[in-house]
A and B are shown apart, each in its own frame.
Chain A
Amino acid sequence: MSVSEAAPVQDNGAGTRTLPLGTRVTRALVPFAYLSPTVTLLLVLMVVPIIIVIGYSLQDAVITTKQSHFVGLENYIDILTSAKFRTALGNTIVFVVVSVVAHMLIGLGFALLLNSDAVSNVTQAVFRTIFVLPWLLTVAIIAILWRLLLNPNGVVNALLSALGVVSGQHEWLADPDLALAVVTFINIWSGYPFFMISILAGLQGIPRDLYEAAEVDGAGVLRRFWSITIPQLRPIIISMALLDVIWTSQQFALIWMTTGGGPLNKTEMLSTFTYKMAFSEYDFAGASASAVIILVLSMVLAFFYVRSQKARD
């Protein structure tokens, strides 16, 4: 990037051209000085590692041996044709879609409750804090807490038995038919507050007179919800949903500490699949290929996210 193009447009305008070259160069460099720590950090800890991981993915036996060879796309072919990878991809898609939809609906519902003028401000603040609690817990804590709750002798079984829903001591996280649904439920429990807070902020930003005008025109509660609330919230909901898809598809700790991907790979996700390949099987080259595939998928999502952000500007 040439310095002469970089004349500071922001400065007071008058007389910039007449300043000596040295001053102009210094001024043009000012923003880059502010950005230098960020750029350095992102270069060393983001760009370089991505180049390294792509490099690994094109070789065999990396990290564990000194002599690794270039094998082209072999690792990628192995991964994409492996049944385990496809299971992990399928599980991840189910996990993500169900989680995000539920996050959105619960987040919207709770935000509407908190925004209601039917209760006092203090009540709102108390419930806001309670509703947000799951989000404030560390994922490691969430995993352990739910293992306690869902223990065969735990409180969930005790309550559901008392209600007659289940009989006996159910092994929720070890049941191949239920494990994916259960980890998805835990993820829903822990993630909806992010939507709730953003939607609540969005609700508070909708001008009151829109509703008043609609009421004068005879629009009922539902009509006002569909014609004012939802359209006004749409940009927030869309970008939150995209962010949530990106984050949920990368969820690792929750799965790792509850089911570890089991039973019978029923909760194996792309992240746990890749982690095991690297740090349990020491196949770092294969894991790198898998990691690059996940990166590409995430970048496609990020592209849509950036576009949705631009649309809002």
Chain B
Amino acid sequence: MRAKQRRRLLHVTAVWVGLVLGGCFAGLPVLWMLVSSFKPNARIFATPPRIIEEDSSFAAYLSIFHDPEKIRFFVNSYLVALTVTALTLVVGIMAGYAFSRFEFPGKRVLNVIVISVQAVPPITLLIPFFGLMVTLRLYNTYQGLILTYMVFTLPYAIIMLTGYFNTLPRELDEAAKVDGTSTFGALWKVLVPISVPGIVSVGIYTFMIAWNEYLFALTLTRTNNMRTVPIGIQLLMGQHSYEWNEMMAMSVLGSIPVVVLFIFFQRYFIGGMTAGSVKN
């Protein structure tokens, strides 16, 4: 009995040591980003480094809020990411429904195409996209970015949603159809409402991809009023001699939407991942 208790204590201690070490590895850089955003720029590289410097303030944040150009980066990012999410969900739900509930010629081929599309390197598409967007007059527009991002978000959404719909019994939507609802009605009135957890997790993932995208945002936009947050942060780096505190403040603001989404929806998110990628 004594030995068992000691082993249990050892086990608990080992887990705690692991958690704390892991927490330092993952969290300390993020903590440093946060505290640096409050420091006066002159004290960013002070030795010895201190978590909280004297004269810490919200100055860096205020200077971002007072700069219309920087606010524009955020507006652009929200606009693009939210539109991409909404459109990806609508198109993805329809495609996921077709894959989950119908047999049709070409289904297997199309399925394999959707899966392999995820592996197409962005750099391969970048060169033709550059020409294509100029030709279609979508270069340096929201529409251009939104369409581009959907190519990367849609395959994942379709795979996840197909997997999710497959876990729901067919009887649910069949019953609605027997009652005289069209397949379209059965999808939106029966299947979609009970699929909220899966849809939310796909939505968050889509938002993350669109919010974080860098390569195409860099290449397919030209003017600062079209730039998104990742490019805006990089622009800050080039300008006025490294205002590190402002860059960190911008990074904190740029991380908030995704971190908040994750904290509030992590149950859905991890659940969605289980449904989509584990049971698949």
Q: Whole-angstrom distance between the alpha carbons of A239 and B277 in the complex?
A: 9
Q: Check if A48 sits within 8 Å of B132, measured CB to CB.
A: yes
Interface size on B, residues (CB 8 A): 95
The answer to whether B151 has its CB under 8 Å from any CB of chain A is yes
Give the interface size class of chain A.
35 or more
- Which stretch (A69-77, A127-135, A175-183, A207-215) binds chain B? A127-135
The answer to whether B12 has its CB under 8 Å from any CB of chain A is yes
Q: Whole-angstrom distance between the alpha carbons of A103 and B270 in the complex?
A: 18
Q: Whole-angstrom distance between the alpha carbons of A53 and B49 in the complex?
A: 50
The answer to whether B29 has its CB under 8 Å from any CB of chain A is yes
Q: Whole-angstrom distance between the alpha carbons of A303 and B183 in the complex?
A: 34
Interface positions of B from 182 to 233, Cβ below 8 Å from A: 183, 208, 211-212, 214-215, 219, 229-231, 233
Q: How far is the CB of B188 from chain A (nearest CB, A)?
A: 12
Q: Whole-angstrom distance between the alpha carbons of A35 and B237 in the complex?
A: 43
Contact of A271 among B25, B121, B234 (CB under 8 A): B121
Q: How would you classify the secondary structure of chain B's contact residues: helix, strand, loop or mixed?
A: helix
Q: Whole-angstrom distance between the alpha carbons of A132 and B158 in the complex?
A: 24
Q: How would you classify the secondary structure of chain A's contact residues: helix, strand, loop or mixed?
A: helix
Q: Whole-angstrom distance between the alpha carbons of A138 and B29 in the complex?
A: 14
Interface string of B102-118 (1 = CB under 8 A from A): 11111100101111111
Interface positions of B from 79 to 111, Cβ below 8 Å from A: 91-92, 94-95, 97-98, 101-107, 110
Q: Check if B94 sits within 8 Å of A34, measured CB to CB.
A: yes
The answer to whether A21 has its CB under 8 Å from any CB of chain B is no
Q: Whole-angstrom distance between the alpha carbons of A25 and B29 in the complex?
A: 60
Contact of B121 among A131, A236, A298 (CB under 8 A): A298
For this complex, 28 residue pairs linking A to B, each with C-beta atoms less than 8 Å apart, are A35-B95, A38-B91, A38-B94, A50-B124, A56-B127, A63-B131, A119-B19, A127-B22, A127-B23, A140-B214, A140-B229, A140-B234, A141-B254, A145-B30, A145-B32, A145-B33, A145-B248, A158-B49, A189-B26, A198-B277, A201-B277, A253-B214, A270-B123, A275-B126, A291-B123, A298-B120, A302-B119, A306-B115
Q: A38-B92, A145-B30 are in contact. List 11 more A-B contacts (CB 8 A).
A: A10-B103, A31-B98, A42-B114, A113-B15, A127-B19, A189-B29, A252-B122, A275-B123, A298-B119, A299-B116, A302-B116
Which residues does B use to contact A, with CB under 8 Å?
11-12, 15-16, 18-19, 22-23, 25-27, 29-30, 32-33, 36, 44-45, 47-49, 91-92, 94-95, 97-98, 101-107, 110, 112-132, 147-148, 150-151, 154, 158, 178, 183, 208, 211-212, 214-215, 219, 229-231, 233-234, 237, 244, 247-248, 251, 254-255, 258-259, 262-263, 266, 269-270, 273-274, 277-280
